[in-house]
Amino acid sequence: MNLVPSLSDLLYRISPLIEKSQSTQQKKYDVIVLGVGSMGSSSCYYLAKQGLSVLGIEQFTIPHEAGSHAGQSRIIRKAYFEHPHYVPLLQAAYKNWKDLETEAGIQLYFKTGLLYFGKPESPLIKGLKLSAEKYNVPIQPVSVQEMNNRFSVFQIPNEYERMMEPDAGLVTPERAILAYTERALQLGASIHTQEKTLAWKKTGSTFIITTDKNTYQCENLVITSGAWTGKLVEEVANKLQVTRQVIGWMKPKISSRFELGKFPCWTLADSEKPGIYYGFPTLPSSTFGGVTGLKLGHHTPGISTDPDLVDRNSVKEDEANLIAMLSRFIPEGYVSTIEMKSCLYTYTPDENFVIDFVSGTDGEAVMAAGFSGHGFKFASIVGEIMADLVIKKTTDQPIAFLKADRLGKKS
Ligand SMILES: Cc1cc2nc3c(=O)[nH]c(=O)nc-3n(C[C@H](O)[C@H](O)[C@H](O)COP(=O)(O)OP(=O)(O)OC[C@H]3O[C@@H](n4cnc5c(N)ncnc54)[C@H](O)[C@@H]3O)c2cc1C
């Protein structure tokens, strides 16, 4: 069995299942999931696994490039510099990714190791050490000798610390979403694509969902609509800010030095710029889709946008920013630009997620949103949490810090 089927193989495998599922319709579902992307595909899977009748409604295809999950790769790591609260969720997420790999027979996680570069006082390095210490996550300093031997393409200022998290790596978002979708369909879920949810309301104990094609009823609602969540959930509409984030794929000087298996994922807090730069080894497009190139991005708010009106053309400034970064820290990484692409972040004011019941629904609608540019790695546990909240109205996972009321009343 091929454990690393290509994106196109997976699409070919899943298309007939989705097509068949489009024509199925029942009078009322136990649960409808609005948005079948990162969190929605995982939610459909976990809900169907519990024997519920599930309908997932996705406005585009599965996967697609208009939301937050496109672009071949997402970093996964445990020594979470953002806050130690996330580490137990990450431990569960790692386990669930492994379970999905086993169940679907597909490799989705690639252990590359993750390098961290930054001044000792930077939030990246301080936060990394705090989480690692609190939860015993293995991290280690990288010696000058090792930098020269294994990681000689990096030119890191002497005053920066160099740390390695060996168990970190990347997960492949499009392939993971397809794996969850396939398993959900096999477990009996229906998934309708290219169907936009226009509105939902609760009448008595029944939710009525209106799309651009149909009307459906369900007992419980899961809202995993990514950058569009503010358009569907009034209580968070003014709390979520959608930004356009631009990522680049570059042609390096000697491609073989940057390939998967030889080159790690990396993050760097440049003391002269806000946010964090990050990047990946090159992945062959024949397996992972997209283009083959050295991928990197800048984790800092891009321009605010409406998710339906994203300007994906004017990216020259972002491109120049990434090229300048490479010329300072990875000079061998740039000969020319292969491709620039835009993707969406959905920020909350404190950059922590929102996972909670939707107010006014008697605990029968739940939402997972505001992933603030760092959510994909959690998709495998978020789906399980959504199923817990629908079925048990509670979860053993530590999500109290992600409640919506911390953001204040709607303004
Ligand atoms: C450039 C970039 C780099 C990133 N890097 C990382 C990383 O390294 N590590 C990491 O963990 N995370 C990373 N992230 C963040 C991560 O990808 C997101 O947090 C995650 O994908 C969000 O998942 P989601 O389910 O909320 O959104 P999505 O995956 O976009 O899913 C939402 C879905 O809902 C659908 N939808 C919305 N409205 C409707 C409607 N009305 N009707 C029907 N369907 C609807 C959308 O079409 C979409 O498919 C990155 C994000 C970007 C953009």
pLDDT digits (tens, 9 = 90+) for 311-325: 999 999 999 999 999
Centroid of ligand 1 to alpha carbon of 44 (angstroms) = 15
Average pLDDT estimate for 380-408 = 97
Q: What's the CA angle centered on 410, arms 409 and 411, to 5 degrees?
A: 110
Question: If you take atom 31 of ligand 1, which residue's CA is the nearest one?
Answer: 37
Token pair of 239, please? 């709390």
**Predicted confidence (pLDDT) at residue 411 exceeds the cutoff of 60:** no
Question: If you take atom 37 of ligand 1, which residue's CA is the nearest one?
Answer: 225
Centroid of ligand 1 to alpha carbon of 244 (angstroms) = 12
For residue 174, the model assigns a pLDDT of 97
**Predicted confidence (pLDDT) at residue 2 exceeds the cutoff of 90:** no
* DSSP secondary structure of 303-322: EE--TTS---S--HHHHHHH
Share of the chain above pLDDT 90, in %: 97
* DSSP secondary structure of 274-287: SSEEEE--B--HHH
Q: Which of 43, 74, 343, 348 to mutate to test the pocket of ligand 1 (most atoms within 8 A of CB)?
A: 74
Say which DSSP state 253 is in: S
Question: If you take atom 51 of ligand 1, which residue's CA is the nearest one?
Answer: 373
Centroid of ligand 1 to alpha carbon of 235 (angstroms) = 20
Centroid of ligand 1 to alpha carbon of 227 (angstroms) = 7
Question: If you take atom 35 of ligand 1, which residue's CA is the nearest one?
Answer: 35
Which pTM was predicted? 0.97
Question: If you take atom 5 of ligand 1, which residue's CA is the nearest one?
Answer: 74
Spatial contact of 88 and 396, defined as CB atoms under 8 Å apart = no
**CA-299 nearest atom, ligand 1:** 3
Question: If you take atom 48 of ligand 1, which residue's CA is the nearest one?
Answer: 37
Three-state DSSP class for residue 43 = helix
Location of structure tokens 């990522």: 247
**CA distance to 47, 174, 176, 284, 313, per residue, from 342 (Å):** 31, 15, 20, 20, 9
pLDDT digits (tens, 9 = 90+) for 60-112: 999 999 999 999 999 999 999 999 999 999 999 999 999 999 999 999 999 99
Question: If you take atom 23 of ligand 1, which residue's CA is the nearest one?
Answer: 38
pLDDT digits (tens, 9 = 90+) for 245-291: 999 999 999 999 999 999 999 999 999 999 999 999 999 999 999 99
Find the distance separating the first CA and the last CA of the chain, reported in whole Å: 54
Nearest to 42 by CA among 274, 368, 311: 368
**Predicted confidence (pLDDT) at residue 239 exceeds the cutoff of 80:** yes
For residue 402, the model assigns a pLDDT of 98
Spatial contact of 265 and 279, defined as CB atoms under 8 Å apart = yes
Beta bridge partners of 76: 169
Pocket of ligand 1 from Cβ distances under 6 Å? 34-35, 37-40, 57-60, 67-69, 74-75, 196-197, 224-226, 228, 232, 245, 247, 297, 343-345, 371, 373-377
pLDDT digits (tens, 9 = 90+) for 183-214: 999 999 999 999 999 999 999 999 999 999 99
Q: What's the CA angle centered on 209, arms 204 and 213, to 5 degrees?
A: 150
Mean pLDDT score of the chain, rounded to an integer?
96
Centroid of ligand 1 to alpha carbon of 159 (angstroms) = 36
CATH class of this structure's domain 7-69+174-238+350-407: alpha beta
**CA-211 nearest atom, ligand 1:** 42
**CA-40 nearest atom, ligand 1:** 25
Average pLDDT estimate for 53-61 = 98
Residue 409: band (very low, low, confident or very high) from pLDDT cuts 50, 70, 90: low
Centroid of ligand 1 to alpha carbon of 96 (angstroms) = 19
**CA-73 nearest atom, ligand 1:** 8
Residue 401: band (very low, low, confident or very high) from pLDDT cuts 50, 70, 90: very high
For residue 281, the model assigns a pLDDT of 98
**CA-246 nearest atom, ligand 1:** 1
For residue 28, the model assigns a pLDDT of 96
Sorted by sequence, the CB contacts under 8 Å of residue 23 that are 6+ apart come out as: none
Number of alpha helices (DSSP H) and beta strands (DSSP E) in the chain: 11, 20
pLDDT digits (tens, 9 = 90+) for 288-306: 999 999 999 999 999 999 9
Q: Rounded CA gap, 198 and 266, in Å?
A: 40
Centroid of ligand 1 to alpha carbon of 225 (angstroms) = 8
Q: Rounded CA gap, 287 and 5, in Å?
A: 7
Percent helix, strand, coil in the chain, to 5, is 35, 25, 40
**CA distance to 47, 83, 128, 170, 261, per residue, from 124 (Å):** 36, 10, 6, 18, 25
**CA-372 nearest atom, ligand 1:** 19
Average pLDDT estimate for 120-146 = 97
pLDDT digits (tens, 9 = 90+) for 322-363: 999 999 999 999 999 999 999 999 999 999 999 999 999 999
For residue 27, the model assigns a pLDDT of 85
Q: What's the CA angle centered on 367, arms 366 and 371, to 5 degrees?
A: 155
Q: Distance between alpha carbon 284 and the CA centroid of its chain, in Å?
A: 20
Average pLDDT estimate for 159-176 = 98
Sorted by sequence, the CB contacts under 8 Å of residue 345 that are 6+ apart come out as: 68, 227, 242, 243, 245, 301, 302, 371, 372, 373
Q: Rounded CA gap, 304 and 245, in Å?
A: 9
Spatial contact of 77 and 256, defined as CB atoms under 8 Å apart = no
User: Any idea where the domains of the chain sit in the sequence?
Assistant: 7-69+174-238+350-407, 111-169+240-347
Residue 410: band (very low, low, confident or very high) from pLDDT cuts 50, 70, 90: low
**Predicted confidence (pLDDT) at residue 394 exceeds the cutoff of 60:** yes
Please give the CATH topology (third level) of the domain spanning 111-169+240-347.
D-Amino Acid Oxidase; Chain A, domain 2 (3.30.9)
* DSSP secondary structure of 155-224: ---TTSEEEEETT-EEE-HHHHHHHHHHHHHHTT-EEE-S--EEEEEEETTEEEEEESS-EEEEEEEEE-
Location of structure tokens 């996550």: 137
Centroid of ligand 1 to alpha carbon of 171 (angstroms) = 14
